[in-house]
């Protein structure tokens, strides 16, 4: 069976990850098993430590029982009973630990039995302790034979010691195994020391003669109790600690004393006249057993330390393998998703190629990317499509060039007779005409101008498409150039009673290098659109502000044209800068236009190194904005900042209306250093002296303009272009009429005119 391309890709992407996942899964399992084993080992050691303490105390009880059977004594019986309580308490502690520690129990090991190893040990201990409890009664009444009693205790000890040896089974760690082997050896040495203590305590207490068989048995016990050898121990620190314990001067003296007593007992074996009492013998052997217990504690601490290191190492490896395992799972999931995505893309590509093959010579061929033949067929088809696309592109370019040439030629051909129409219309307009005839001439003039604008836009877009537009690099005055672009639409905005506010940053007094013609055309296009799409009584704000530039000798300027017109929806924004397009067809029918203004503006700003963008909300208006950088031409000029700081101005405010223009005027006056005060009622300025009074005709209400002219301050009316004649007809003493848009040069000129008139009178 042949694997398809999709399956091969799946195999290539997933096989390494599956292998990695399998290997890491094995390592995770093994690491967890090692960590779990180390944890169990630690608990087993703790359990065996409790069991070892129990063995030690049972051995002591055995020795004291031997002394009591050898020679009855109330003190000995009292001490024996106290020791029995200690043994019973140690049994309870051991059983409670096994019961509470869940790690010691594993009932899945042997399915045929309900008891795990720890449970079995617990049962064995219970049985053995019951045997001891029975023999205790016989010892109390002295009804038990010594040999029977001693064998019961010794068999119990042997049973418990075998439980201690269980931990050595399946122990893979070499260091732990070595230490625990030595630990068990010391357990046996301690047990035989206990046997010697108990057996000889009975013999000495009874003054029993020793036969040769008894002596041989005793010598065998001595050999086992003294067989402590740790010379082969690899842990040097531990060996040094054991040396310090066993080779201590007092302990050596104790061992020598025990050997001397042994010699004396052997010498008196035939007469039973022993050179030591059973109590002293018991005490000396107990000291020896205590020393061995201390050695066991040292070994156990070292084993605990090794187990903790083993546990930490296992945990570290476990965490690393789990991390790799999780990464393998993530990569596996990503690989699966990626292979599915590739498979879907291949299927989608097959569908596209099949559709592309329709109408070509390959239409009857089966394009199957899972086969070598199908892949080769797809390559051939793509080559044919690419060749055809190149041809179509060339045809489209030729057609576009022909279209541009046709538009340019037609524009020139149309402009030639149109110039004649415009010229003769101007002559006709200046002749004596009747009112109706003048109206006809105005229609001809307006239509001619509209047609000229259309031709100009077509020529501009043709130049843009053919990359024939060049960027000028001339020195210009930004205040004058930008003002002239905004002033073009003073009359049109006034006709629709639109508040056309303009802020041109007065700090832009320094001449700049750039292409003012294209910037003015962009501003004119944007303001024209704003007026076109803003209803009567709306507002338009033109904002041109100098921004902070981090480059030396460079001025950065922010341009924005805001209106409260029809706005642009999110869907319409995507194509608003395309040629011959507007928001939708209904807008074209209602407002007219070619749809070239924004395309031309966007391309001009791009040529100048910026980007034309917009912020808009449907039915709430639009803001077009862009930023440009200009080289500074001459920075050594005198600016007008604070030039008119000796003047004082009053500005009329409205009770219920605020224009953007009000904010701009205050900023202009601040720049020129003019002190100003705001007032709402004419009575507020009755007894005050001002140089100028700025009065917006939209704010005066029922008050006539004549009342403001009665004051000593010179009157500066603020109005729209369409109302200038009506103000002139009042024949008032007016300093200057300011009409929308009011920008910095108009304010500056007004202040200069006032100062000139004032000083001329003086």
Mean pLDDT value across residues 640-663: 88
**Cβ atoms 233, 314 nearer than 8 A:** no
Q: Which of 35-39, 255-259, 499-503, 523-527 has the lowest mean pLDDT?
A: 35-39
pTM: 0.49
Token pair belonging to 258? 């025990």
447, 425 Cβ separation under 8 angstroms: no
Rounded alpha-carbon distances, angstroms, from residue 444 to 178, 229, 411, 656: 117, 128, 19, 43
Q: Do 247 and 192 form a contact (C-beta atoms < 8 A)?
A: no
| Residue 418 scores a pLDDT above 80 | no
Closest CA to 457 of 579, 322, 576: 579
Q: Which two tokens stand for residue 431?
A: 């002749």
pLDDT at 570: 79
Tokens of 430: 């200046």
Q: How far is CA 453 from the centre of its chain?
A: 54
Residue 172 has pLDDT above 60, yes or no: no
Residue carrying structure tokens 């040529």: 607
Per-residue pLDDT reduced to its tens digit, 555-580: 999 999 999 988 888 777 777 777 65
End-to-end Cα separation, the chain, in angstroms: 112
Higher-scoring residue by pLDDT: 334, 248? 248
CB 196 within 8 A of CB 281: no
- For the record, the structure tokens of 137 come out as 């009664």
Q: Token pair 């050179």 is at which residue?
A: 275
**Rounded to whole angstroms, how far apart are CA atoms 514 and 609?**
11
Q: What is the DSSP string of 623-671?
A: EEEEEEEEEE----S---TTTTTT-EEEEE--SS---HHHHHHHHHHHH
b/e map 218-251, b = 16+ CB within 10 Å: beebbeebbebebeebebeebeebbeeebeeeeb
Q: Cα torsion for 741, 746, 748, 751, to the nearest 10°?
A: -110
CA–CA gap between residue 481 and residue 744 (Å, rounded) = 12
Find out whether 463 and 412 touch, Cβ atoms under 8 Å: no
**pLDDT for the residue numbered 171:** 56
Q: What is the pLDDT of residue 738?
A: 87
User: Region 166-178: what's the mean pLDDT?
Assistant: 70
Between these two residues, 215 and 402, which has the higher pLDDT value?
215
Rounded to 5, what percent of the chain is helix, strand, coil?
65, 10, 25
Q: Which helix (H) or strand (E) holds 23?
A: helix 5-70
Q: Pairing relation of β-strands 512-514 and 474-476? A: antiparallel
* Number of other CB atoms surrounding residue 657 within 10 Å: 11
* Highest-scoring range by mean pLDDT, 267-281, 452-466, 678-692, 702-716: 267-281
Six-digit token string for 363: 């239409």
pLDDT of residue 628: 93
Q: Give the pLDDT of residue 48.
A: 83
489, 531 contact by CB (below 8 A) = yes
CA distance 459 to 592: 19
> CA–CA separation, 76 vs 415, rounded Å?
140
CA angle 151, 152, 157 (to 5 degrees): 90
Nearest alpha carbon to residue 688 among 676, 697, 699, 698: 676
Given a contact cutoff of 8 angstroms between Cβ atoms, the answer to whether 98 and 126 are in contact is no
The pLDDT value recorded for residue 448 is 67
Residue where the block lists tokens 């357990």:
187
What pLDDT score was predicted for residue 544? 94
Q: Are the CB atoms for 469 and 511 separated by under 8 Å?
A: no
In this structure, are residues 21 and 325 in contact, taking their beta carbons and an 8 Å threshold?
yes
* Six-digit token string for 65: 């029982």
**Token output for 644:** 């008119």
Supply the pLDDT for residue 394. Answer: 80
Contact 95, 51 (CB under 8 A): no
Q: Which segment, 113-127, 606-620, 722-736, is predicted with the most confidence on average?
A: 606-620
Phi, psi of 7 (to 5 degrees): -70, -35
Tell me, what's the pLDDT at 372?
A: 63
The reported pLDDT for the residue numbered 1 is 47
Residue 673 has pLDDT above 90, yes or no: yes
Q: What gap in Å lies between CA 355 and CA 170, rounded to an integer?
A: 70
Mean pLDDT across the stretch 194-199? 89
Distance CA 64, CA 70 (A): 10
CB 182 within 8 A of CB 228: no
For residue 413, pLDDT over 70 is answered with no
650 near 693, Cβ under 8 Å? yes
Q: Cα–Cα distance between 211 and 215 in angstroms, integer?
A: 6
Q: SS3 for 290?
A: helix
DSSP per residue, 116-127: -HHHHHHHHHHH
**3-class secondary-structure state, position 747:** helix
Q: What residues contact 516, with CB distance under 8 A and at least 6 apart? A: 472, 474, 476, 478, 481
pLDDT for residue 630: 93
Cα dihedral 709, 713, 714, 718 in deg (nearest 10): -70
**By the 8 A CB rule, do 66 and 199 touch?**
yes
- 752 forms bridges with which residues in the sheet? none
- CA 533, CA 531: separation in Å to the nearest integer? 6
675-679 vs 621-632, strand pairing mode = unpaired
Distances (CA, A) of 696 to 121, 421, 506, 665: 107, 41, 22, 11
Q: How far apart are CA 149 and CA 748, in angstroms?
A: 127
Q: What is the pLDDT of residue 50?
A: 85
- In the predicted structure, residue 595 carries a pLDDT above the cut 80: no
| Between residues 266 and 109, the one the model is more confident about | 266
Is the pLDDT assigned to residue 749 strictly greater than 80? yes
Res. 421 pLDDT band, cuts 50 70 90: confident
Q: Residue 589's pLDDT band (boundaries 50, 70, 90)?
A: very low
Residue-wise pLDDT for 705-745, tens only, equals: 777 777 767 888 888 877 887 777 777 778 888 888 888 98
- In whole angstroms, give the CA distance from residue 605 to residue 612: 6
Mean pLDDT in residue range 266-275:
89
Q: Which residue has the tokens 């304010």?
A: 747
Distance CA 477, CA 744 (A): 13
pLDDT of 499 above 80: yes
pLDDT of res. 467: 62
Q: Residues 152, 153, 154, CA angle at the centre, nearest 5°? A: 95
Residues 6+ apart with CB under 8 A from 536: 496, 497, 498
Mean pLDDT of the chain: 81
pLDDT of residue 557: 94
- The label of the residue with tokens 């004549």 reads 706
pLDDT class for 23, splitting at 50, 70, 90? confident
**Under 8 Å CB-to-CB from 173, ≥6 apart: which residues?**
306, 310
pLDDT at 273 over 80: yes
What length does the chain have?
Answer: 762
Domains plus CATH for the chain?
Answer: 15-321 (no CATH), 392-469 (1.10.287.130), 475-632 (3.30.565.10), 648-761 (3.40.50.2300)
């Amino acid at each position: 069976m042949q694997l398809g391309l999709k399956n091969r890709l799946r195999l290539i992407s997933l096989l390494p990850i599956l292998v990695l996942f399998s290997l890491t899964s094995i390592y995770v399992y093994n690491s967890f098993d090692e960590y779990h084993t180390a944890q169990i080992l630690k608990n087993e050691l703790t359990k065996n430590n409790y069991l070892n303490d129990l063995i030690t105390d049972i051995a002591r009880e055995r020795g004291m029982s031997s002394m009591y059977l050898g020679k009855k004594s109330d003190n000995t019986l009292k001490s024996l009973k106290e020791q029995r309580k200690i043994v019973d308490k140690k049994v309870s502690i051991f059983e409670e630990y096994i019961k509470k520690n869940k790690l010691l129990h594993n009932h899945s090991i042997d399915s045929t039995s309900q008891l795990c190893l720890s449970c079995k040990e617990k049962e064995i201990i219970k049985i053995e302790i019951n045997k001891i409890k029975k023999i205790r009664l016989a010892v109390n009444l002295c009804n038990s034979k010594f040999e029977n009693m001693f064998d019961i205790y010794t068999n119990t000890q042997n049973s418990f010691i075998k439980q201690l040896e269980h931990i050595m089974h399946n122990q893979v760690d070499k260091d732990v195994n070595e230490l625990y082997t030595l630990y068990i050896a010391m357990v046996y040495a301690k047990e035989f020391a206990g046997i010697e203590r108990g057996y000889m305590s009975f013999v000495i207490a009874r003054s029993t003669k020793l036969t040769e068989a008894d002596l041989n048995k005793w010598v065998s016990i001595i050999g086992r109790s003294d067989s402590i050898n740790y010379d082969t121990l690899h842990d040097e620190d531990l060996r040094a600690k054991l040396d310090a314990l066993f080779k201590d001067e007092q302990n050596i003296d104790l061992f020598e004393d025990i050997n001397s007593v042994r010699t004396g007992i052997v010498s008196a074996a035939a007469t039973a006249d022993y050179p030591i009492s059973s109590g002293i013998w018991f005490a000396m052997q107990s000291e020896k057993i205590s020393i061995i217990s201390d050695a066991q504690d040292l070994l156990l601490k070292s084993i605990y330390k090794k187990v903790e290191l083993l546990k930490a190492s296992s945990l570290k490896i476990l965490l690393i393998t789990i991390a790799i395992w999780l990464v393998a799972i993530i990569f596996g999931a990503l690989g699966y998703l990626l292979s599915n995505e590739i498979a879907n893309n291949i299927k989608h590509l097959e569908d596209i190629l099949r559709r592309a093959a329709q109408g070509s010579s390959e239409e009857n061929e089966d394009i199957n990317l899972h086969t070598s033949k199908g892949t080769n067929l797809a390559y051939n088809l793509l080559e044919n499509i690419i060749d055809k696309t190149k041809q179509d592109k060339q045809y489209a370019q030729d057609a576009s060039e022909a279209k541009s040439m046709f538009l340019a030629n037609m524009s020139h051909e149309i402009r030639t007779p149109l110039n004649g129409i415009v010229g003769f219309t101007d002559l006709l307009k200046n002749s004596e005409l009747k009112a109706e005839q003048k109206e006809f001439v105005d229609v001809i003039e307006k239509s001619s101008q509209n047609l000229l604008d259309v031709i100009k836009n077509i020529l501009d877009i043709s130049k843009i498409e053919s990359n024939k537009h060049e960027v000028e690099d001339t020195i210009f005055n930004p205040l004058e150039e930008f003002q002239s672009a905004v002033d073009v639409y003073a009359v049109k905005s006034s006709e629709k009673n639109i508040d056309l506010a303009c802020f041109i940053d007065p700090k832009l007094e320094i001449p700049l290098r750039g292409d003012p013609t294209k910037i003015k055309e962009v501003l004119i296009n944007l303001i024209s659109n704003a007026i076109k799409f803003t209803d009567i009584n709306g507002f338009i704000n033109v904002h041109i502000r100098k921004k902070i530039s981090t480059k030396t000798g460079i001025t950065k300027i922010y341009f924005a044209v805001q209106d409260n017109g029809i706005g642009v929806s999110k869907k319409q924004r995507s194509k608003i800068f395309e040629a011959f397009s507007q928001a939708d067809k209904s807008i074209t029918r209602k407002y007219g236009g070619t749809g070239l203004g924004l395309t031309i503006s966007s391309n001009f700003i791009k040529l100048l190194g910026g980007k034309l963008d917009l912020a808009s909300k449907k039915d709430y208006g639009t803001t077009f904005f862009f930023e440009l950088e200009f080289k500074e031409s001459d920075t050594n000029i005198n600016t007008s900042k604070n030039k008119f700081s000796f003047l004082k101005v009053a500005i009329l405010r409205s009770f219920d209306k605020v224009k953007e223009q009000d904010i701009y005027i205050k900023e202009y006056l601040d720049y020129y250093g003019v002190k100003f005060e705001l007032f709402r009622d004419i009575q507020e300025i009755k007894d005050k002296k001002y140089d100028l009074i700025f009065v917006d005709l939209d704010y005066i209400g029922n008050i006539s303009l004549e009342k403001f002219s009665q004051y000593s301050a010179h009157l500066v009316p603020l109005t729209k272009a369409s109302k200038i004649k009506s103000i002139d007809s009042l024949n008032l003493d007016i300093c200057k009429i300011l009409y929308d848009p009011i920008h910095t040069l108009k304010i500056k000129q007004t202040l200069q005119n006032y100062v000139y008139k004032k000083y001329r009178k003086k």
